[in-house]
Amino acid sequence: MLAAKFIDIKQHLVAQIEQGHWPEHHRVPSENRLAAQFNCSRMTARRALTELVEQGVLVRSQGRGTFVAQLKSQGSMLNIRNIADEVRERGHQHQMELLRLEVVAANTEVAIALGIKEGESVGFSSLLHFEEALPVQLEHRYVNLQLVPDYLQQTFERHTPHEYLSQQAPLTEAHHEVEAIAADDALAAQLQIAQGAPCLRIVRRTWSRSGTVSFARLTHPGSRYRLGGHLIMEK
């Protein structure tokens, strides 16, 4: 399946940066120039630039153009934590069970989240994380195999998907959505809780400088997990 033109443009721009051809603050080609170069509409070129701006790879300056952003880590009110580290920091034992690891076709939601075409192959993993032998997180994760091609060759016996992805495609940005849900029969059985028990679900997208890396749903039993953050306000 051929990649959409805006993906081709994004990959070209990122390659110029990662190969050192365009340093920080370098002005990138305009929408018109990219549209002509890739034989596409200006709207398609704009989408590619806009997504890279949103991911922190590029930065726009009104009236001047679009430039390569300064390479720096991105902060978030919610830190991107590894569940294994959280458990160990509480002095408890972390274990995980790999439930599924396979190639699946991206549905509409996953395709939009990862910035790929619907039906394109993505990596899917499902793991159950335990704290002191009790389930504390059910992790469903979709991974962009264009950016992390060896994801499905991992066993996740010693390292979590988060740890592996952080090594292979260092994260620069994340977007979180948090919602409260009630456990249905299947979820209750996996998390060893009562049907209808409250759960906390975090829906997370993560980016590297090359693009969207993963889209995950992290579901926790409400009685065993709480979410906190520390925000420092600028004076």
pLDDT digits (tens, 9 = 90+) for 145-180: 999 999 999 999 989 999 999 999 888 778 888 889
**Are residues 137 and 216 in contact, defined by beta-carbon separation less than 8 angstroms?**
no
Tell me the per-residue pLDDT of 88-101, one tens digit each, with 9 for 90 and over: 877 889 999 999 99
Q: Strand pairing of 65-68 and 134-143? A: unpaired
The confidence score (pLDDT) of residue 149 equals 95
CATH of 5-68, one of 1.10.10.10, 1.20.1600.10, 3.90.1420.10, 3.40.50.2000: 1.10.10.10
Burial class (CB in 10 A: 0-12, 13-18, 19+), 231: exposed
What is 83-221's CATH number? Answer: 3.40.1410.10
* CA separation for the pair 101, 210 (Å, rounded): 23
**pLDDT higher than threshold 50 for residue 231:** no
Local structure of 154: helix, strand or coil: coil
Question: What are the residue boundaries of the structural domains of the chain, listed by start?
Answer: 5-68, 83-221
Q: What is the average per-residue pLDDT within 127-148?
A: 95
Give the pTM. Answer: 0.67
**CB burial of residue 214 (10 Å; 0-12, 13-18, 19+):** buried
